[in-house]
């Protein structure tokens, strides 16, 4: 198992050192959403552009720990050019993987009205590298920060909420 943990650590460090889709998009047409974790100071800005039900462009900026920044990079690489519904499924799957610990404690995600999602790390590809975060409950919010911002952005776009620059 140590070999797999080493591989996962390398994937996380690679995304932290060489983040994918780093930068900004012009607002509008892109939609801008900020995420902030007051517990540790991590911050992320997600810029996303949705056309005809597809996330056609996505960029991230911000600063924070290796987990939050690697997760944002992995999220951007995974979601870009995917249909919005596929992005929403990925959000639910990733958050389900991250909430295993919280659900067992009756935490934040235990009260959700959505059906619980059963997720296999095999279905998440590189994102499975972040599954070890659940061993450190305080870091779960770091890993889900960009995913929550993405979900908020998709919700705002669907509701027609204008983006602020």
CATH architecture of 2-159: Alpha-Beta Complex (3.90)
What pTM did the predictor assign? Answer: 0.84
Edge-to-edge strand order for the sheet containing 43-51?
31-36, 43-51, 54-63
Average pLDDT over residues 129-136: 86
In the chain, what are the domain boundaries?
2-159
Is the model more confident about 53 or about 163?
53
pLDDT confidence of 50, banded at 50, 70, 90?
very high
Looking at residue 164, the DSSP 8-state letter turns out to be P
Phi/psi of residue 82, each to 5°?
Answer: -100, 150
Mean per-residue pLDDT, 48-56:
97
pLDDT tens readout for residues 61-106: 999 999 999 999 999 999 999 999 999 999 999 999 888 644 444 4
**pLDDT at site 105:** 41
- Rounded to the nearest 5 degrees, what angle is found at the Cα of 165, between the Cα atoms of 24 and 28? 75
Instruction: Give yes or no for residue 109 having a pLDDT over 80.
Output: no
Give pLDDT tens digits for 7-47.
788 888 889 999 999 999 999 999 999 999 998 899 999 99
Estimate to the nearest angstrom the gap between the alpha carbon of 30 and the chain centroid: 18
Q: Can you give the pLDDT at residue 115?
A: 52
Alpha helices in the chain (DSSP H): 2-17, 66-79, 84-98, 100-105, 137-159
């Amino acid at each position: 198992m140590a070999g797999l943990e080493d591989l996962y650590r390398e994937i996380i460090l690679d995304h932290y050192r060489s983040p994918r889709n780093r930068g900004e998009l012009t607002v509008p047409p892109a939609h801008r959403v900020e995420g902030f974790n007051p517990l540790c100071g991590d911050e992320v800005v997600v810029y996303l552009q949705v056309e005809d039900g597809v996330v056609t462009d996505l960029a991230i900026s911000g600063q924070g720990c290796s987990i939050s920044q690697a997760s944002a990079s992995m999220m951007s690489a995974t979601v870009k050019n995917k249909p919005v519904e596929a992005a929403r499924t990925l959000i639910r799957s990733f958050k389900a993987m991250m909430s295993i610990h919280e659900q067992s404690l009756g935490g934040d995600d235990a009260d959700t009205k959505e059906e619980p999602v059963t997720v296999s790390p095999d279905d998440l590809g590189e994102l499975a590298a972040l599954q070890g975060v659940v061993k450190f409950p305080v870091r779960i919010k770091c890993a889900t920060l960009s995913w929550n911002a993405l979900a908020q952005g998709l919700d705002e776009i669907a509701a027609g909420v204008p983006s602020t620059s």
